[in-house]
Amino acid sequence: MKPPRILALAAALPLAAPGSARTPQQPAAAADTLPHPNILLFLVDDMGWQDTSVPFYETRTPLNDRYRTPNMERLAALGVRFTQAYACAVSSPSRCSLLSGMNAARHRVTNWTLDYGRPTDDPSDVLLLPEWNCNGIQPDTVTSAHNTRCATPVTTLPQLLRTHGYWTIHCGKAHFGAKTTPGADPRAMGFDVNIAGGANGAPGSYLAERHFGEGSPQEVRGLEKYYDTDLFLTEVLTREAIEALREPIARRQPFFLYMAHYAVHVPYEEDKRFTASYRGSYDAQLGATLNENEVRYAALVEGMDRSLGDLLDFLEASPETARNTIILFMSDNGGQGLNNARQGVENRDQNYPARAGKGSAFLGGVREPMLVVWPGVVQGGTTCEQRVMIEDFFPTILEMAGVEAYQTRQRVDGESFVRALRNPSALRERPIVWHFPNLWGETQDHEEGYGAYSAYMEGDYHLIYTWQTGQLRLYDIRRDIGEQHDLAAAEPARVRRMARRLSERLREAGAQRPAFRATRLPCPWPDETAAADR
């Protein structure tokens, strides 16, 4: 592993005055500007919080020993690990929150998007699901009925950064808007450059020899020059991202690179660069040899990590650039917890010691690996317990970029965590709301936190509300991170208080809720259900 180097702040980079217009070839004079760092946001798809050799729990776990992520270790040595980072339980809601700063209850893109006007929910004999914004978020300039139907117009993060002089690059998975809408094209969402991003939420194939799924509903477009080679999508995206960075670096313009990998989402195709290292390996947690799915999954993780390392190497080859680049690492939802995709005891082994996985209200579905490197500000090798939600990245990145005077069409729910970066001991209470009045297509196991739910976290307590049954469950995640001991009966006053606060937040956001098919009446809010009256 390449030895980590602690980086220091660089000199100011030129930036246009807010609101001014200029071409990339005409950078503003440095005398008119303040320092503005480069920002690299590295987002992984479907990566569980323990799918790394970097521990994000209080102790190492067997999963940390299964995976090889030396470049995440390198990043952790340069920066800070966040041990309480959260996102939505599925992809599009998280990505829309990241770009807009809105909680999912407010932007209403509460499930994953793909085809125009077509919700992706499973059917139900019990619930009538509410209308949600299945066409995603859209740029705040849209006016046509087609582009505003079942959609939320927003002022996006890259749009604001671009207005303030940043060269904005999107690379990889977008998944912001449905097909045939502007939101499906990252360039319409404020990115100067789009590499392989569209409406699709997964790769049709990772393999260039299969043309990255050409012709399938999930085809990856724009990488035709790699067709019929033996390259893997993760490596191709990294090559393209590095080439895209050369342009702003050459003209000394600050950049925002949103490196949004399709990995480690299914399909678990073989990345031959890494699978040999895992095939035939005995796993201590499973008490068995890794099966082929786990071998390929581990290789996807290591391939993602190699991409991170290649980007770090590229930046460090230009010390001035490296010294002025902030790096944020995050995943968009929890790792798969079902054994139709993963090996082991379903909803227990895959995100251990957390319970369940992607799509679930339990921590396995929403807790994420998060790292931040901020040269000259963040001390390397440190840990921070500040609670962070995915929409918090919006105001945080703007604050990091020095963007202070800005307006948005939407109300921003996110809260900047810059203060915690500057002083990791200066923690503040940060309640979190999750809202998923939908039915994820892979399972509806209420016992494991799937199905239509809303949830609320405050202090050490996590409250989960199941809309169909009216059940309220309460867990002390500090003492019981596996969420095995429901405290609702033992602490009715806390349940009532948290149910009231969750309901107030949902009503204030204009959140939609399911109804019962038999009566056509809406399901009770969490503070109206009989379980809240105990």
Q: What domains lie within the chain, and their CATH numbers?
A: 39-431 (3.40.720.10), 452-533 (3.30.1120.10)
Predicted pLDDT of residue 35: 66
* Polymer length in residues for the chain: 534
pLDDT exceeds 50 at position 7: no
Tell me how far apart the terminal alpha carbons of the chain are, to the nearest angstrom.
56
| Structure confidence by residue, pLDDT tens digits, 223-268 | 999 999 999 999 999 999 999 999 999 999 999 999 999 999 999 9
Q: Is residue 14 very low, low, confident or very high in pLDDT (cuts 50, 70, 90)?
A: very low
In contact, 432 and 389? CB cutoff 8 Å: yes
| Structure confidence by residue, pLDDT tens digits, 91-123 | 999 999 999 999 999 999 999 999 999 999 999
Report percent pLDDT > 70 for the chain. 93
**Global pTM exceeds 0.95:** no
CA pair distance 393, 414, nearest whole angstrom: 7
What does the DSSP 8-state code read for residue 276? G
Predicted pLDDT of residue 32: 29
Count of beta carbons in the 10 Å neighbourhood of residue 314: 18
Average confidence (pLDDT) over 19-34: 32
Which amino acid makes up residue 305? Answer: D
Residue 432, φ and ψ in degrees, nearest 5: -130, 140
Predicted pLDDT of residue 462: 99
| b/e map 419-457, b = 16+ CB within 10 Å | ebbeebeeeeebebbbbbbbbbebbbebebbbbbbbbbb
